[in-house]
Structure 1
C-alpha cells in the first residue's frame, strides 16, 4: 500500500479507485509477510476524501467498522468527460455484469491479472494487483491519462496500455 500511495501522490491523480478485497484477500491466497491490515486501513483512511471503492468477494461488515469510507457497494458508476462521457462501470469482478451499453468501460480486479482490451463492444480494464499479483505478472496498478489506460509495475515499466 505504501508504494501505491507514493505513485498516487506523485501522479497528482484526482481519485484513487480501489476494486475490493481491501483488508483481506481470502483463504486461497497466501498473504505477503509484510501484510498488516491495521496499517493498511490507517493508510486507506488517510485518503478517504479521494477514494472510490467497491466491495470485493472478501469484504465483510467488520471491515466497514474500521474504514472511514464506504466499501460495501457492489459497484459504482462514473461518467468521464475525458472519455467522451462514456460510462465507467466499477466492480470487483466476481459477479455477473448487468446489461451495459456498447462503449462502456468495465473496470474490475478479482482475478489479480492485468487486462486492457476491447471485446464485444465493451472496454475491459483490470489493473492487476498491488498486493497479490497472479499469472506471473508483477504487482501493478493502472493510470488513466487523457484517453489511455496504462497498467504499470512499481518500477514504472508499462505492462500494457489501451487508448480508447
Structure 2
C-alpha cells in the first residue's frame, strides 16, 4: 500500500491522490487502508518515509565504484518517482498547515540521512573546510536536476552535468 501511495502521488499529485485511489491501486478496501492509516496525511507521509528508507538502504548497499557512479546514483534519487511524490508533498505542505510540520520534519530527517550516505559513499572528509558545503551543494544540484526532469526528459544534459560534477568533486574532495 505504501508503494501504491507513492506511485499515486508521483502520477496524480496531491489533489488526485486520495485514500480511496491508493486503496484501489493496492487492491485493498478503503476501510483496510484507513485502519492502518487513519488520515490521508498519515498515509502519504508514511509512504514517502518508507520509500525514502528503502532508497537509503539501496544507496548504502552500493559498491564503491568511483565518484561518477556514486554521483549518478545520488542524482537518480532525484529523478525518480520518490522525488516526484516528495515534491507533491512539499507543495501540499506549503498550503496545508496540518501537513507542513510533518513534511518539514520528514524532509529534514531524510535530508540528513541522504547527506550522511553521500559523505560516506564519496569518501568525503568533512573535517576539511568546505567539504560539507560541497557535498550539500551536490545534493542541491541533484535536486535541481530532478526538477528540470519533471517536464521533459533531461537525460542527455543531466549525464553531461554529472560527468562535470564528478570531475569537480574529485578536485574538491581529494
Question: Normalization by structure 1: what TM-score?
Answer: 0.32
Bigger CA radius of gyration: 2
Question: Normalization by structure 2: what TM-score?
Answer: 0.31
The structure whose residues are more often helix, as a share, is 2
**RCO higher in structure (CA 8 A, sep ≥6):** 2
The structure whose residues are more often strand, as a share, is 1
